[in-house]
Amino acid sequence: MKTHGLPETFWVVTRPSQVSTLDDICFACNFERLMLQTRGGLSEDEIAGIYAEEGEARKAAARLVGDFPVRPQDALTVDVLVHVMVIPKNEEMPARELAEAAVEAVQNAVRRAEKEGHHHRLEDQVNLGMSEVVDLHDQLAVEGS
């Protein structure tokens, strides 16, 4: 098949998965290879963009995978959902104590991150069951160094 007016090579950026790297989602392509990719299962919805220039494609891919530098004055919000499995020490252990153990596990993880120099602001609440909620807003806040 002949193509007219298209560059010999262009750059395709696909939507990333949670484990994608820049090189996974940004690749040089020609029309024939793109057709083969679509026959192999690549759908239009999975393509984030097609670029003539490698630099623009890599910038777009870097934004998608979060692989770009941030400065200390930049704010980046990342929502993290934490599931903690705790096992009671005995059959008579109250659910509240078990929930408190889960909260303590998260606090220990936060303290470890602090020791390694990571800064954060933990917000929101932990539901300890029925109607009891522990408010975490500003409870584990670290600002600056």
Q: Structure tokens of 40?
A: 């192999």
SS3 of the chain: helix, strand, coil, percent, to 5: 35, 15, 50
Instruction: Categorize the per-residue pLDDT at 133 as very low, low, confident or very high, splitting at 50, 70 and 90.
Output: low
DSSP β-ladder status, 133-135 and 125-127: antiparallel
Residues 42 and 80 in one domain: no
Residues 54 and 78 in one domain: no
Mean pLDDT of the chain: 77
Each residue of 15-64: pLDDT tens digit?
998 888 889 999 999 988 999 999 999 999 999 999 999 999 999 998 88
Q: Please name the helix (run of DSSP H) or strand (run of DSSP E) that holds residue 65, with its range, or none.
A: helix 54-65
What distance in Å separates the CA atoms of residue 99 and residue 21, rounded to the nearest whole number?
Answer: 36
Q: Structure tokens of 62?
A: 């870097």
Residues 76 and 24 in one domain: no
Range of the domain at 99: 71-145
Q: Please name the helix (run of DSSP H) or strand (run of DSSP E) that holds residue 19, with its range, or none.
A: none
Question: How many domains are there within the chain?
Answer: 2
| Residue whose pair of structure tokens reads 């941030």 in the numeric block | 70
What distance in Å separates the CA atoms of residue 118 and residue 74, rounded to the nearest whole number?
Answer: 14
Each residue of 51-109: pLDDT tens digit?
999 999 999 998 888 876 667 676 666 666 666 777 777 788 787 777 778 778 877 87
